Structure 1
């Protein structure tokens, strides 16, 4: 489900599973991790094919997981988000259309998030007795503040691009998000990774991630019969 192409100083990584709103299976997550970590350009631009950015985890996959498999799936998603966050390249998310659950979490791991006017965001897992377990419980409060994060996660409500801009979930609303990736890539390629590394320097979240994966696995096991679109 991952397509890559190099465009000047930007590697374009496209989530290309539009029939499932670019929802992730295990192989899709691994493919995304490989695409980001294997990029040789100073900037990676991440976007979704079709009408959505990403619906997050494919619930047909999640609903079949047992407890240990659910924990492993959460840990895989966490590793992909961490790879985005720790990549040498600056990763720009271009959100055009819906981002849901894990789609929001992967966007949160990106260095820059840019929306089109059509973008919408929601952490919808709570309505299914779940939550996003790809590092979102740590990243969302860091990005938008604890109050906004609690509201989004506990209500499951959908916010539009303007609301996302006000809370800091995205930094710009533009018609063509890829232009922002090229704007960044036009700068000195030696300075970009240094700035990214310094601004990303924070406390270890390993314990938080382990607890998050365990809690996710518990909920998948408890609510397996009800997990579906």
Structure 2
């Protein structure tokens, strides 16, 4: 993969684009990739650039994103505790809201985002992974929301998204105790989609999955993600209404005509992303 400046330049992130899959690496290994305010700002910048590229006019250069961490010890070990100790309560609230905004942006992207977790995904790291569509973990991965050990609570979405992933009872137990779990337990709870032996294996598996997605109609994939994300926390009736809206919008696309036509003509579709 070749480095790309298409989506900007960064001090704490590395971005590589290959075969329409963007790999975004949080690159602060000396700090176990902790989410400093600079990292949070750069994540916002990077994901905003990806969002802006997801149009027919831009050619849909990105069809999927892999998020991972550098250094081999951590995906993202958590928030930056050194920075937090000097924050006022109001500054901490701003820090919380800025990273929450990043996680909401990830959920709104019309392309799937896969977290490849190797090593620690604790606190903010776990919360970053939870905002992604899938989590592929290595056998060395560890997950947890240990904020109570510091006299804190989750601030980047853990109290909302962890129950959605693992259920209310399991989430309460993990958050109240601050307990860490390994990859096998994360898979059993439904937090991790897959567990692979090494980081390279997990990255390859993520790219394979995103490669499958990249061959599909990008607008349809985005609408499917919108319908699923939009249904979270809503009643069944409200979720179905959102699904019907997405279904209707799909019918307005050229890709729908191409996909159905190709099916009837027994040929492979060629999606234009519009």
- TM range, normalised to the smaller chain? 0.7 to 0.9
Tell me, in whole angstroms, the C-alpha distance in 2 between the residues paired with 1:147 and 1:97. 25
Match of 2:249 in 1: none
SS of the residue corresponding to residue 179 of structure 2 reads coil
**Quick one: distance in 1 between partners of 2:38 and 2:139?**
31
Q: CA deviation at 1:203?
A: 5.7
Tell me the equivalent position of 1:147: 169
- Which of 32, 50, 53 in structure 1 is aligned with 2:43? 32
Match of 1:80 in 2: 102
Instruction: Name 1:214's counterpart in structure 2.
Output: none
- Matching residue within 210, 213, 217 for 1:184: 210
Conserved 8 A contact 1:33-1:84: no
Is the Cα contact below 8 Å between 2:20 and 2:64 reproduced in 1? yes
For 1:101 and 1:177, locate their aligned partners in 2 and report how far apart those are by CA, in whole Å: 21
Deviation at 1:76, TM superposition (A): 0.5
Alpha-carbon deviation of 1:37?
Answer: 2.7
Query: Alignment partner of 1:53: what SS?
Result: strand
| 1:36 CA displacement | 2.1
Deviating 4+ runs (over 4 angstroms)? none
Residues matched between the structures, number: 205
User: RMSD in angstroms over aligned alpha carbons?
Assistant: 1.5
Q: Which residue of 2 aligns with 1:132?
A: 154
Question: What TM-score does the superposition give when structure 2 sets the normalisation length?
Answer: 0.72
Cα shift readout 1:166-187 (whole Å, capped 9, x = no counterpart): 0011110123222233222333
SS in structure 2 of the partner of residue 38 of structure 1: helix
1:125-145, CA deviations, whole angstroms, 9 ceiling, x for partnerless residues? Answer: 101100221111111101100
Q: Which runs of 5+ in 1 are unaligned?
A: 206-229
> Are the equivalent residues in 1 in contact too, given 2:136–2:206 (CA < 8 A)?
no
| 1:14-67 deviation per Cα after TM superposition (whole angstroms, max 9, x unaligned) | 010000000011111011122223224010000000110011210001111001
Taking the aligned partners of 1:189 and 1:94, their CA distance within structure 2 comes to 24
1:46 to 55, 67, 73: 67
Larger Rg: 2
Q: Which moved more, 1:13-22 or 1:196-205?
A: 196-205
